[in-house]
């Protein structure tokens, strides 16, 4: 009871008085008004404000949004490896890059376009090796180039082993079917036919479809 409390004690209802009664806390409502003289001063200030301040509508600022990191990367890829590609050709490049997790900026996959001809998308032998290593099932590869009596390459045989298969995957490619007789095919024929054999074997062993090495295309 309040009578048992010391004078000045604050309770939820108010303050305990000397006689033991509780003086309620003051309450304020929207009906409460300032004293007349203070209200008049406030009205004068507000009127002066309204008379001297012009409100100007400010147009909304145009937000400049930086592209996301992924968008920046896509723009960089297009500028570096596919500047002349159509949107459809570039989308196909990015689809294959994403599907096989190959990096165009590292030349693991790239696009070649001449004039108005349809673009060609390639992955090198090293790109196929990247797919093989990332799979966790690559268990080695052996390539043998065969030569004729004049020491000219006749074919190449590549064997790829997987650690989850009992039999290896083998490719046997003929030099006469792939050589263009130009550029590296002329100066490094054994290396080139070896790359073809390795690309074919790796694609077979790791189910790569819709993507070829430039050596395979001649």
Task: Decide if 120 contacts 113 (C-beta within 8 A).
Answer: yes
Burial level of 201, CB count in 10 A (0-12/13-18/19+)?
buried
- Length of the chain in terms of residues written: 218
**pLDDT for 157:** 98
Report which secondary-structure segment, H or E, holds 153.
Answer: strand 153-162
* Phi, psi dihedral angles at 63 (to 5 degrees): -75, 130
**pLDDT for 19:** 74
Closest CA to 160 of 133, 186, 181, 179: 133
**pLDDT for 218:** 67
Closest CA to 108 of 128, 88, 90: 128
Q: Tell me the CA distances in angstroms from 136 to 13, 65, 106, 161, 209, one per residue in order.
A: 75, 41, 21, 12, 19
Coarse DSSP helix, strand, coil percentages of the chain, rounded to the nearest 5 percent:
40, 20, 40
Q: Which residues contact 4 (CB under 8 A, 6 or more apart)?
A: none
pTM above 0.75, yes or no: no
Positions of the chain with pLDDT under 70: 1-17, 22-67, 218
**pLDDT for 105:** 86
């Amino acid at each position: 009871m309040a009578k048992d409390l010391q004078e000045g004690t604050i309770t939820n209802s108010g303050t305990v008085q000397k006689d033991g009664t509780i003086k309620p806390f003051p309450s304020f409502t929207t009906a409460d008004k300032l004293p007349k003289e203070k209200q008049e001063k406030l009205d004068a200030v507000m009127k002066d404000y309204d008379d001297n301040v012009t409100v100007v509508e400010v147009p909304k600022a145009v937000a400049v949004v930086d592209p996301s990191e992924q968008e920046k990367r896509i723009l960089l890829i297009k500028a570096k490896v596919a500047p002349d590609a159509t949107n459809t050709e570039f989308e196909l490049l990015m689809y294959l890059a994403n599907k096989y997790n190959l990096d165009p900026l590292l030349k693991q996959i790239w696009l070649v376009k001449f004039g108005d001809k349809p673009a060609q998308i390639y992955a090198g032998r090293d790109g196929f090796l990247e797919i093989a290593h990332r799979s966790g099932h690559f268990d080695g590869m052996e390539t043998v180039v065969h030569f004729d009596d004049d020491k000219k390459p006749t074919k190449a045989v590549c064997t790829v082993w997987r650690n989850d298969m009992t039999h290896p995957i083998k490719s046997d490619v003929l030099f006469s079917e792939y050589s263009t007789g130009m550029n590296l095919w002329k100066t490094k024929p054994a290396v080139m036919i070896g790359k073809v054999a390795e690309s074919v074997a790796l694609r077979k062993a790791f189910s790569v479809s819709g993507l070829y090495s430039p050596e395979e295309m001649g």
